[in-house]
Amino acid sequence: MVNKHEIEAALHAESQAISAGRLKEDNPLDLSDDFRIFCEACRRGDLKICQELIMKGVNINARDRFDYTPLILASLCGQFEVAQLLLESGALCERDTFQGERCLYNALNDRIRNLLLSYDYAKSTDPLQPLAAHITSLLTRDHPKTTDITLVTPTESFRLHKFVLSARSPYFAKKLATAPDTTSWKLSNSIPTESLHLALRYLYFSEVSADLGDGEEEQIILTGIDKISRQLEIERMFESILESGDRRLTRQRRTDEVNRGRDQLNEWFQNNVMKNKIVVDTEKAHDVHWDRNNGIFADVLLRADDEPQEETQVEIQPQDPLVRTTSGPLNGIPIGPLAKSRSPSRHRSPQKSTLYPVHRAMLLRSEYFLTMFSSSFREAQETQHLQIIKLDCTPAVLEVILTFLYTERADFGLDVAIDVLFMADLLFIEKLKQRAAMIISTLGNGSTSAVESENPRGATDAENALDVYEVVRAGWDTRVHRLEEFGARYIAYRLERYIDEEEFAELVRESANRIKARQETDTVELIDDIRYYLSDRFRLRFEDSGLEEMMEENINEDPAELPEPLPEDEGVDISSNSPPKQTTDEFLFPDIESQLRGGAVRTLDGEVAGDEFAQDAMNYQILLGKIDALLARLELDA
């Protein structure tokens, strides 16, 4: 055990280090409006606002005036989903730190506490780690071949990627800009190979340590590193090798380094790949020829077609001339004879395609491309001109995917989310898939941005156009359970609207079939989920008003008609005396009649009672009854 004064001493030392600028503060004070709103949303559990603000770039590890971080707030207020969102977005909860322990001790229930523990820093990785690891692995990857430049030293030769070098080292950027078709580069003999190796590892996002042997040897290597880092204009490297302090400092520096590297890569990606995309008519897309030697070192073209049925003016058309004017680094690249013929004057514009010059090395992050380029199919072959590979999505979606592959960034709107979800599934990019699912499930509540519990009567916007059926089906198709849950919740809070739709019945049937395909059980997952969220919706209402007696009365009015399905987790305790969930199926079934009658009673009593709560209770019963009726109609419970 650590004594109190020791903890205080450590805290003091930490704050000293922070004020001296040696250590960056993990949780800086943030008094901006955005952050205030963010904290507020965390308290209330408003996923949508949280997600929106996170995408806007609010610092999720900052603290407010009262020294609270968003994660502490979410944990304290028992907002499981928000806490999960925060953790997935990179909120820190580290044991053995002051703020981390605060989170843990403040957790409202065990469920949240376990969640926090499972995200403990020691176990979770830096969100950028996969990207860094991939780029590091490029150094040693032999197959499929992605390298385009060889660096020769007297003893060894390194096969490297021009785009990485040029993105990471200003020196290379300049050199390669003037002579993009260089295929080998010689190093002066005065620099030891070991130093060069370290420098390259640094360029490729690897962690470079200061463990360099001893004495003289170390001195030689360090001198070499000094020299080479100045030559390549990567002076920061020397510092990061020399300084090795405590664990936290090292980690912070490492995070900074990777972040910086990512930013460099991102900048390069935006300036080269994105600016060099080409928009052509679809039927002429095949004729685009790019030489293998091009200014941005791309080795493959990805093609995405616009949606065919779009009759309106293609909106990206104005970009067309832009593409050609910004072809600065594209010296001598024949974009193809078609570029000219693609005149904007054409009236009924034909379908357009967008081509992105990209690098296989980065595409390999997707297993789909890895397999493709490792195989012996057409795409893997070396041709004079770059291969054009079509991806079955819109340019916008492709851009999201490319941005993710190059920079690990995945901020996109709800409008492309489902498409991204499907593409990520197709390309086996698991992280992007999860990300898409998260965006859908946090932003998907449409315009009802307020916390759902405040909208118990399921009032919805007429505009609300989320096709929840599609979302649920997409969840099934891409095996993202989260979406099914989201759908169930979404429907539950708007059940009045959906319960009578034929498509809802269809969805329930599909859900049932899914289960039957797996194993012989009688429950329908979707219905179970909906029931659960339904009880949640109404229960919260009753609980909030603190009028349980009232509920009691209601129950007394319709004895045995209010068997609430037992919520699954321990955070809820009001229905401790209700029968366990497993029995509800059989239990509920014979009650349908009476519940239907309950529906009839409601119209009668509606005037008499006139009470909101009573009305809620009855609505609850009616909805449950309708569900059962639906099940009976679909012959699912039999």
Partner 1 sequence: MIAGRGRSKIRPPRRGIHGGEEIDFEQTWKIIASAFNEIHTKNASKLSYEELYRHAYRIVLKKKGEDLYKRVRDFEHDWLTTQVRLRIQDLLSPNLLISSQAIGGTTTNERRFAGEKFMKGLKDAYMDHHVCMGMLADVLMYMDRVYCQDTHRLSIYNSAMILFRDDILNAFSQDGDSISVLELLNHVILEQIRMERDGDVIDKHMIKDCVYMLEGLYEGQMDTAESRLYVASFEGSFLETSRDFYRAESELLLRESDAGAYCRHTRRRIVEEQDRCRSTLAESTTPKIEKVVEDELIKNRIRELIEMESGVRFMIDNDRMEELSLVYELNARVDPKKTELMRAMQKRVVEMGTEVNNAAIAASQAPPPSEGADKGKGPALEKSLNQQTVAAIKWVEDVLQLKDKFDLIWKNAFNSDNALQTALTRSFADFINASSFPRSSEYISLFIDENMKKGIRGKTENEIDMVLEKAIVLLRYVQDKDLFERYYKKHLCRRLLMNKSISNDVEKQMISRMKIELGNNFTMKLEAMFKDMTISEELTSGYKGHVAQLGDADPKRIELAINVLTSMTWPLESMGGSGDEEGKTLKCIFPPAIDRIKRGFEKYYGEKHSGRQLTWLAAMGSADVRAVFPKVPGKEGTQKERRHELNVSTYGMVILLLFNEVSADVSLTFEDIQAQTNIPVSDLVRNLQSLAVAPKTRILVKEPMSKDVKPTDRFSFNAGFMGKFHRIKVGVVSNGNKVESDRERKETEKKNDDSRGFCIEAAVVRIMKQRKELSHQQLVAETLNQLAPQFKPEVTMIKKRIESLIEREYLERIEGAKVDSYRYLA
Q: Closest Cα partner for 395 from 306, 271, 504?
A: 306
Amino acid identity at 1: M
Residue 333 is a binding residue for partner 1 (CB under 8 A): no
Residue 156 is a binding residue for partner 1 (CB under 8 A): no
Q: Please tell me whether residue 595 adopts helix, strand or coil conformation.
A: helix
**Nearer of residues 138 and 302 to partner 1, judged by Cβ:** 302
Residue 315 is a binding residue for partner 1 (CB under 8 A): no
Residue with tokens 């950028």: 128
Smallest distance from the beta carbon of 269 to partner 1, in angstroms? 22
Smallest distance from the beta carbon of 593 to partner 1, in angstroms? 37
In Å, the largest CA–CA distance within the chain is: 96
Stretch that binds partner 1, among 114-122, 124-132, 190-198, 416-424 (CB under 8 A): 416-424
Strands of the sheet containing 157-160, edge to edge, are 157-160, 149-152, 184-186
Q: How do 184-186 and 157-160 pair as beta strands?
A: unpaired
Q: Which of 418, 507, 618, 624 binds partner 1 (CB under 8 A)?
A: 418
Stretch that binds partner 1, among 73-81, 379-387, 575-583, 621-629 (CB under 8 A): 379-387
User: What six digits make up the tokens of 517?
Assistant: 């395909």
Query: Does the bond joining 329 to the residue before it have cis omega, within 30 degrees of 0?
Result: no
Smallest distance from the beta carbon of 532 to partner 1, in angstroms? 23
Rounded Cα distance, 326 and 274, in Å: 11
**Nearer of residues 52 and 628 to partner 1, judged by Cβ:** 52
Smallest distance from the beta carbon of 311 to partner 1, in angstroms? 14
Strands of the sheet containing 300-305, edge to edge, are 278-281, 352-358, 300-305, 388-391
Stretch that binds partner 1, among 10-18, 247-255, 280-288, 443-451 (CB under 8 A): 443-451
Separate counts of helices (H) and strands (E) for the chain: 30, 7
494-513 residues in contact with partner 1 (CB under 8 A) are: none
Phi, psi at 22, each rounded to 5°: -75, -35
Q: Which of 221, 391, 534, 588 binds partner 1 (CB under 8 A)?
A: 391
Number of residues that bind partner 1 (CB under 8 A): 53
Residue 603 is a binding residue for partner 1 (CB under 8 A): no
Stretch that binds partner 1, among 187-195, 265-273, 446-454, 580-588 (CB under 8 A): 446-454
347-376 residues in contact with partner 1 (CB under 8 A) are: 367-368, 371-372, 374-376
Burial class (CB in 10 A: 0-12, 13-18, 19+), 397: buried
Residue 449 is a binding residue for partner 1 (CB under 8 A): yes
**Nearer of residues 474 and 526 to partner 1, judged by Cβ:** 474
CB 299, CB 360: distance < 8 Å: yes
**Nearer of residues 49 and 112 to partner 1, judged by Cβ:** 49
CB 524, CB 515: distance < 8 Å: yes
CA 94 to chain centre: 22
44-63 residues in contact with partner 1 (CB under 8 A) are: 48-49, 52
Stretch that binds partner 1, among 221-229, 410-418, 581-589, 602-610 (CB under 8 A): 410-418
Q: What angle do CA 287, 428, 159 make, to 5 degrees?
A: 65
Name 609's Cβ contacts closer than 8 Å, sequence gap at least 6. Answer: 615
User: What six digits make up the tokens of 402?
Assistant: 């490319």
116-135 residues in contact with partner 1 (CB under 8 A) are: none
Q: Which of 33, 214, 461, 520 binds partner 1 (CB under 8 A)?
A: 461
Smallest distance from the beta carbon of 614 to partner 1, in angstroms? 30
CA dihedral defined by 293, 299, 300, 301, rounded to 10 degrees? -50
Smallest distance from the beta carbon of 364 to partner 1, in angstroms? 14
Amino acid identity at 345: S
Burial class (CB in 10 A: 0-12, 13-18, 19+), 505: middle
278-307 residues in contact with partner 1 (CB under 8 A) are: 307
Residue 422 is a binding residue for partner 1 (CB under 8 A): yes
Smallest distance from the beta carbon of 28 to partner 1, in angstroms? 24
Residue 309 is a binding residue for partner 1 (CB under 8 A): yes
Name 393's Cβ contacts closer than 8 Å, sequence gap at least 6. Answer: 304, 401, 419, 422, 423
Smallest distance from the beta carbon of 408 to partner 1, in angstroms? 22
**Nearer of residues 440 and 627 to partner 1, judged by Cβ:** 440
**Nearer of residues 443 and 636 to partner 1, judged by Cβ:** 443
Residue 463 is a binding residue for partner 1 (CB under 8 A): yes
Smallest distance from the beta carbon of 381 to partner 1, in angstroms? 6
Amino acid identity at 174: K
User: What six digits make up the tokens of 538?
Assistant: 């109404």
305 - beta bridge partners?
Answer: 353
C-alpha distances (whole Å) from 590 to each of 357, 524, 558, 596, 633 are 64, 18, 14, 11, 14
Stretch that binds partner 1, among 117-125, 177-185, 391-399, 553-561 (CB under 8 A): 391-399
Residue 477 is a binding residue for partner 1 (CB under 8 A): yes
Residue 587 is a binding residue for partner 1 (CB under 8 A): no
Q: Please tell me the total number of residues recorded for the chain in this structure.
A: 638
**Nearer of residues 279 and 468 to partner 1, judged by Cβ:** 468
Write out the residues near partner 1 by the rule CB under 8 A. 48-49, 52, 307-309, 367-368, 371-372, 374-381, 389-394, 413-419, 422, 426, 428, 440, 443-444, 446-447, 449-450, 461, 463-467, 470-471, 474, 477, 479, 518
